Amino acid sequence: METIFKIEKLNLSYGDNHVLKNVSLAIYKNQVTAFIGPSGCGKTTLLRCLNRMNDLNVTVKQDGSLKYLDQEVSSINAMDLRTKVGMVFQTPNPFPMSIFDNVAYGPRCQGVKNKYTLNKIVVESLKKAAIYDEVKERLRDSALSLSGGQQQRLCIARCIAMEPDVILMDEPTSALDPIATLKIEELIGQLKKEYSIVIVTHNMQQATRISDYTAFFMLGEIVEYDKTVELFKNPKNRKTEDYITGRFG
Amino acid sequence: MRKIKDILMNLMTYLFSSFGVLILGTILVFVFSNGFSSLSWNLLTSDYYETVYTLKYETDNTLGVYDNPNLNDSYFSSRWGVAFQDTTNNEGDSVIIISYLDPLSPLKRMTNGATDGIASVETNQVVTKVILNDEDSNLIIGLAKNGAEEMAQDFDKGIVITNLVVTTSGGGIRGSLLTTLYMIVLTLLIALPFGIGGAIYLSEYAPDTRSTRILRNMIDMTSGIPSIIFGLVGAIVFIPFMNNVIGSTGGSIASGALTLAIMLLPIIIKTTEESIKTIPSSYRSASLALGASKTQTTFKVILPNALSGILTSVLLSIGRIIGESAALIYAVGTAIKDNVAIDENSTTLAVHIWSVMSGENPNYELSYSISIVILFMVLILSILVKLITKRFNRYEVK
């Protein structure tokens, strides 16, 4: 299986706070990889390393190796990297613009001006994010008039419009109701044919439902990383077993 | 016990707030009741200075009988086809004006005493004096103080006008109104780019170091400096500066606008920065995560969302510009002008009030009328800004 991210002995700290400790991990192409673990274990931090969103924090210190397709991430221009590695956030955050402008934002920033090209990108992205049928009549309406679940799928469409290789999802369903969550999960199942997906989740059922690989984090270290089926059926580490059975305390 | 305390607190709140409303209402009623009588379209459109014309009419060929239009309060001279009316001018003095002029009246084909050209009197001009000759060449002298009725009778007696003195009605505020608009536009043109740029730098780019903290504090302090000090700075720095740059002599609208722009910078920077701070950081990270550069994020996401704050600062600035007098007295001057030019001095409405009130006989009524004009200007501009804000915030869901 092709590796898309290769992480070796990654250490990261915010000021004096050592958040990631000697993390080594390989993320595979066209697979869904889930990061699980208790709050504050560093899973979101690791996710934000993958598209250099941590750079925005000035106090961050990082060492070790983090390679995207055999290229050191820190040597890639952050803006170019982010067009290839998209991100969907915890709370839906569409811009206060029309639905069309939201999806067209990324391509426009890259200098796409042609109306027909933009139109094509927007329609295709919305279709791939399984929201086109719901919004095709009102592409000029405000994106903020959509429901929470629709907003999140719009954010996924906005991400897809950049034609990325990888989509990072930071607890994408934690602010949504079960029905909207189900829709997003179905969507993830469809998207993995074309994209590699890394998802952070607090919901272990969700991890078992949608992911192919799962990494269990605790206190900034990877406790166990395996195929999801293996990890949940035969956890090799005692801590993992405690956590997934809910006995973790 | 708690009940009594609550009642007392509520009572105090109601009392103080109603007191504030009452005072505001009283001021408005006072200004309107005093200023409305002398407020007219004529006041807004006419010049401040009177122009005096000395005219004469020597042939008697076309003197005839003209139809009386029978205007109320007007007295008609059928021989000359002109009607006079007693009224008061913009400054409150009683004058005689020409209320009607027959299209064929000989007063339309008079000779200007100064230039020997053909000249015509117009309706609404003020008649101050007339000297006529009757059939027997006797002199008839009509004076304004005798009233419109006698003026009409004097005109009917004569067949030749040897001297007619008419003036355009003065005391208008057209020049000051124009100056105010010029001042608003010019000041905002200078202050907004610098203010918004400064706010963007402070909120988006500036590192949190000692020097930027000092800078921030200095901006806060600048907004507390009395405007008269800015006026002095304007007089010492900006008047010579503008004299060199655009070749003006002495204070000009340009030097005033520059002074006001410096004065408004802290307000614009503060309001814009505050509104940038309220923009959710999730917009910023969403934009950056889509591969947008920091500049693109600032101009495509941050600025459009800060627009309501920027427009609020524009509104505050317009209020300050319209109301400012102390700074402009030094940085521009107090001479009221009818012909307004950016490189010359003239007065805004507020300084106009100062000018008419600081003379030997302060003109209260005119001041109140100008106050009403100022209030309406602020009202119209506020509504305009609100409409623009609404137009740009159409994607916000309330």
Q: Can you give B268-298 as a three-state secondary structure string?
A: HHHHHHHHHHCCCHHHHHHHHHCCCCHHHHH
Q: What domain count does chain A have?
A: 1
Q: Given an 8 Å threshold on Cβ–Cβ distance, is B396 in contact with A109?
A: no
Cross-strand partners of B183: none
B107-141 per-residue burial string, b: 16 or more CB within 10 A, e: under 16 = bbebbeeeeeeebebeeebbbbebbbbeeeeeebe
Q: Which of A94, A142, A162 sits opposite B291 (nearest CB)?
A: A162
- Which stretches of chain A sit within 8 Å of chain B by CB? 51, 53, 56, 79-80, 82-83, 86-87, 89, 91, 93-98, 105-106, 108-110, 142-145, 155, 158-159, 162
Q: Given an 8 Å threshold on Cβ–Cβ distance, is B291 in contact with A109?
A: yes
Q: To the nearest whole angstrom, how far is the Cα of A103 from the nearest Cα of chain B?
A: 10
The amino acid at residue B372 is I
Is residue A127 in a domain? no
Q: Which residues of chain B are within 8 Å of residue A158 when distances are taken between CB atoms?
A: 286, 290
Is B45's pLDDT higher than 90?
no
Is B286's pLDDT higher than 90?
yes
Length reported for chain B? 398
Count Cβ–Cβ pairs < 8 Å, chain A vs chain B: 72
Domain residue ranges in chain B: 52-167, 174-392
Number of helices (H) and strands (E), helices first, in chain B?
14, 9
Q: Given an 8 Å threshold on Cβ–Cβ distance, is B301 in contact with A80?
A: no
Query: Could you please report the per-residue DSSP string of B77-145?
Result: ETTTTEEEEEEE-TTS-EEEEEEEE-TT-GGGSEEETTT-SEE---TTPEEEEEEEE-TT--EEEEEGG
Q: Given an 8 Å threshold on Cβ–Cβ distance, is A51 in contact with B289?
A: yes
Q: What's the whole-number mean pLDDT along residues B142-170?
A: 83
Confidence of residue B63 (pLDDT cuts 50, 70, 90): low
Is residue A148 in a domain? no
Q: Would strands A3-14 and A60-68 be described as parallel, antiparallel, or unpaired?
A: antiparallel
Query: Within chain A, which residues score under 70 in pLDDT?
Result: 248-249
Tokens standing for residue B37: 């009588």
- Which stretches of chain B sit within 8 Å of chain A by CB? 280, 282-283, 285-293, 296, 300-301, 305, 393-397
Is residue A46 in a domain? yes
Is B90's pLDDT higher than 80?
no
Q: Which DSSP helix (H) or strand (E) runs through B23?
A: helix B2-35
Is residue A220 in a domain? yes
Q: Which of B278, B290, B293, B295 to mutate to test the interface with A (most CBs of A within 10 A)?
A: B290
Q: Which of B394, B395, B398 to mutate to test the interface with A (most CBs of A within 10 A)?
A: B395
Q: For B161-192, how does the pLDDT look when each residue is reduced to its tens digit (9 = 90+)?
A: 888 888 877 778 889 999 999 999 999 999 99
Q: What is the mean pLDDT of chain B?
A: 87
Q: What is the pTM of this model?
A: 0.80
**In terms of Cα–Cα distance, which of B217, B191, B181 is closest to B202?**
B217
Q: Which residues of chain B are within 8 Å of residue A80 when distances are taken between CB atoms?
A: 291
Nearest CA in chain B to A88: B286
Q: Given an 8 Å threshold on Cβ–Cβ distance, is A89 in contact with B289?
A: yes
Is B46's pLDDT higher than 60?
yes
Contacting residues for A246 by C-beta, under 8 A, at least 6 apart = none
Q: Given an 8 Å threshold on Cβ–Cβ distance, is B283 in contact with A110?
A: no
Q: What is the pLDDT of residue A248?
A: 63
CA angle B50, B54, B56 (to 5 degrees): 150
- Rounded to an integer, what distance in angstroms lies between the CA atom of residue B351 and that of residue B340? 15
Q: Which residues of chain B are within 8 Å of residue A94 when distances are taken between CB atoms?
A: 286
Tokens standing for residue A118: 């933009």
Query: Could you please report the per-residue DSSP string of B312-363?
Result: HHHHHHHHHHHH--HHHHHHT-S---SS--TTS----HHHHHHHHHSSSS--
- Rounded to an integer, what distance in angstroms lies between the CA atom of residue B197 and that of residue B219? 14
Confidence of residue B196 (pLDDT cuts 50, 70, 90): very high
Q: Given an 8 Å threshold on Cβ–Cβ distance, is A82 in contact with B300?
A: no
Is B398's pLDDT higher than 80?
no
- Higher-scoring residue by pLDDT: B360, B141: B141
Q: Given an 8 Å threshold on Cβ–Cβ distance, is B286 in contact with A93?
A: yes
The topology (CATH level 3) of B52-167 is Pdz3 Domain (2.30.42)
Q: Domain B174-392 class?
A: mainly alpha
Nearest CA in chain A to B207: A58
Q: Given an 8 Å threshold on Cβ–Cβ distance, is A83 in contact with B300?
A: no
Confidence of residue B62 (pLDDT cuts 50, 70, 90): low
Q: Given an 8 Å threshold on Cβ–Cβ distance, is B290 in contact with A144?
A: no
- Give the CA dihedral B76, B78, B80, B82, nearest 10 degrees: 20
Q: Which residues of chain A are within 8 Å of residue B394 when distances are taken between CB atoms?
A: 142
Cross-strand partners of B52: B167
Determine the angle formed by the axes of helices B253-277 and B303-323, rounding to 10 degrees.
140
Cα–Cα distances (Å) from B18 to B26, B29, B31, in that order, read 12, 16, 20
Is residue A100 in a domain? no
- Rounded to an integer, what distance in angstroms lies between the CA atom of residue B394 and that of residue B387? 11
Q: Given an 8 Å threshold on Cβ–Cβ distance, is A105 in contact with B283?
A: no
Confidence of residue B59 (pLDDT cuts 50, 70, 90): low
Q: Which of B291, B301, B394 sits opposite A82 (nearest CB)?
A: B291
Q: What is the pLDDT of residue B61?
A: 58
Q: To the nearest whole angstrom, how far is the Cα of B314 from the nearest Cα of chain A?
A: 22
CB atoms near residue A227 (< 10 Å): 13
Q: Given an 8 Å threshold on Cβ–Cβ distance, is B287 in contact with A97?
A: no
Q: What is the pLDDT of residue A203?
A: 87
Domain of A48: which CATH number? Answer: 3.40.50.300
Q: Which of B282, B287, B397 sits opposite A144 (nearest CB)?
A: B397
State percent of chain B over pLDDT 90.
Answer: 39
Q: What is the pLDDT of residue A249?
A: 47
Confidence of residue B32 (pLDDT cuts 50, 70, 90): confident
Nearest CA in chain A to B305: A96
- Rounded to an integer, what distance in angstroms lies between the CA atom of residue A212 and that of residue A210? 7
Report how far Cα B307 is from the mean position of its chain's Cα atoms: 27
Q: Given an 8 Å threshold on Cβ–Cβ distance, is B290 in contact with A143?
A: no
Q: What is the pLDDT of residue B186?
A: 95
Confidence of residue B232 (pLDDT cuts 50, 70, 90): very high
Q: To the nearest whole angstrom, how far is the Cα of A125 from the nearest Cα of chain B?
A: 14
Q: Which of A106, A109, A145 sits opposite B397 (nearest CB)?
A: A145
Q: What's the whole-number mean pLDDT along residues B287-306?
A: 92
Q: Given an 8 Å threshold on Cβ–Cβ distance, is A91 in contact with B282?
A: yes
Is B131's pLDDT higher than 80?
yes
Q: Which of A57, A84, A93, A138 to mutate to test the interface with B (most CBs of B within 10 A)?
A: A93
What residue numbers bound the domain in which A43 lies? 3-93+164-244
Q: Which residues of chain B are within 8 Å of residue A108 when distances are taken between CB atoms?
A: 300
Tokens standing for residue B270: 């503060």
Contacting residues for A217 by C-beta, under 8 A, at least 6 apart = A35, A36, A37, A41, A42, A43, A46, A223
Q: Of B66-70, B219-223, B229-233, which one has max mean pLDDT?
A: B229-233
Q: What is the pLDDT of residue A55?
A: 83
Q: Given an 8 Å threshold on Cβ–Cβ distance, is B286 in contact with A155?
A: yes
